[in-house]
Amino acid sequence: MTDPTSLPNSVSQGPDDRGFFGIYGGRFVSETLMPLILDLDAAYRQAKEDPAFHAELADLHKNYVGRQSPLYFAERLTEHLGGAKIYLKREELNHTGSHKINNCLGQILLAKRMGKTRIIAETGAGQHGVATATVCARFGFPCEVYMGATDVERQAPNVFRMNLLGGVVHPVTAGAGTLKDAMNEALRDWVTNVEDTYYIIGTAAGPHPYPMMVRDFQSIIGQEVKEQIMAAEGRLPDMLCACLGGGSNAIGLFHPFLEDKDVQIVGVEAAGYGLDTDKHCASLNAGKPGVLHGNRTYLLQDPDGQILEGHSISAGLDYPGIGPEHSYLRDTGRVEYVSATDTEALEAFQLLCLTEGIIPALESSHAIAEVIKRAPTMDKDQIIVVNLSGRGDKDVNTVSKFLGKGSLAE
């Protein structure tokens, strides 16, 4: 692995004007969308410089979302694992139950500034769909969410939530009916309704400026952690850990720490049935660079460039790509990307329930699974901060099905 201390200073400076992090990112979209993407870029740059935009967002964070989210010392989990001190960044306590709201609030304010009147989104697990429907209700926008038919089935409670919030859910039957197909369909809607529609992409991927913009809106996670850990421990953590589907909660935690070379950073992909099978979603570990959904990034694909369907027990990680900045951080070696299997995630899920009284999302359970491997090997005075990106209420059906089958007993 590359020695982090020898990295160039620019590791956190991306993207460039064309939206590239190294060779990753860019704006690979059809001509119909290109003028919109450029408008969006200009509007976002303007908003970024406008104190009123930040003030409105800060007020919503505090009074609507309930930020800042706690940085919680997981005492019994730490004791149980017998090594490093483990802190949980409690993003699951946010309004709507995950980090997704951070991004949606930023983007809905932008949509409002741009004079758009209709919102669309894609969703996998439904967390982003719920967060989008929430901000649409709050700001009075009609909301249409594209969701793979498979996901509609396995995340039924979130579909109902979206409906309650006034969102219209379109099940997508193309392909395997998961997140990638939902994103294709959202892009088709957008290209058809360019004039009035704003597309709230849920992860730090897609054409520039989305990866940068979503990262910026999620970076509040890492910024808060920095303050909170200084207050609690008087120093930065030794390790950060987060799960990755598209990678928005991870980049939100990681980005403010990229220049802190002593902080080790670990991202955890979904290994599904295992990386030695074809049933996983580990694009950084087992994919190759390619171009999909507007950006160049690591993708699961066959030798002919056809995109493969991912698999994970967690619908939110079930995506064959990854945000382009993660691809860049992988190649530079600044972040280490590992993976956790379905079984490991399920074990971590249960352990957190029993030791801390917290039901984590299956997505976040992948990050916990890595902590279970690492913490015991570290000293007791070392510190890990893990992003608890979402709560697990939505997953109890899935988990009970697996536990009922006894698949954990093996």
Partner 1 sequence: MEKTRIDTRFAACKAENRAALVGFITAGDPDLDTSLEIFKALPKAGVDVIELGMPFSDPMAEGVPIQLATQRALAGGHTMAKTFDMVRAFRKEDNETPIILMGYYNPIYIRDPKVFVKDAREAGVDGLIVVDVPPEHDDELCLPARDAGVNFIRLATPTTDEKRLPKVLANTSGFVYYVSVTGITGTGALDADKVAIAVKRIKEHTELPVAVGFGVKTPEQAEAVGRNADGVVVGSVLVNAIRDSLDGEGKATEKTVAAVTDIVKGLAEGCKRAKA
Least Å distance, CB 191 to partner 1, is: 6
Nearer to partner 1, 189 or 325 (CB): 189
Nearer to partner 1, 290 or 360 (CB): 290
Q: Which residues contact 193 (CB under 8 A, 6 or more apart)?
A: 118, 120
Least Å distance, CB 377 to partner 1, is: 38
**Contact by Cβ (8 Å): 288, 307:** no
Least Å distance, CB 314 to partner 1, is: 22
Nearer to partner 1, 196 or 379 (CB): 196
Tell me if residue 380 is catalytic: no
Instruction: Exactly one of 100, 116, 180, 226 is catalytic; name it.
Output: 100
**Contact by Cβ (8 Å): 385, 239:** yes
Least Å distance, CB 26 to partner 1, is: 6
Cα separation, 346 vs 402, in Å, equals: 9
Q: How many CB atoms lie within 10 A of CB 404?
A: 8
**Cα–Cα distance list, 157 to 144, 160, 192, 209, 394 (Å):** 17, 5, 30, 32, 6
Nearer to partner 1, 206 or 237 (CB): 206
Nearer to partner 1, 20 or 254 (CB): 20
Cα separation, 128 vs 109, in Å, equals: 16
Least Å distance, CB 354 to partner 1, is: 41
Tell me if residue 400 is catalytic: no
Instruction: Exactly one of 122, 144, 185, 370 is catalytic; name it.
Output: 122
Tell me if residue 224 is catalytic: no
- Contact positions vs partner 1 (CB under 8 A): 18, 26-36, 174-175, 180, 184, 187-188, 191-195, 288-294, 296, 299, 301, 303-307
- Tokens for 144? 């249409």
Least Å distance, CB 73 to partner 1, is: 44
Nearest Cα to Cα of residue 321 among 362, 364, 284: 284
Least Å distance, CB 329 to partner 1, is: 21
Nearer to partner 1, 49 or 195 (CB): 195
Least Å distance, CB 141 to partner 1, is: 20
Nearer to partner 1, 120 or 335 (CB): 120
Q: What is the CA radius of gyration of the chain?
A: 20
Nearer to partner 1, 173 or 277 (CB): 173
Catalytic residues, by residue number, are 100, 122, 389
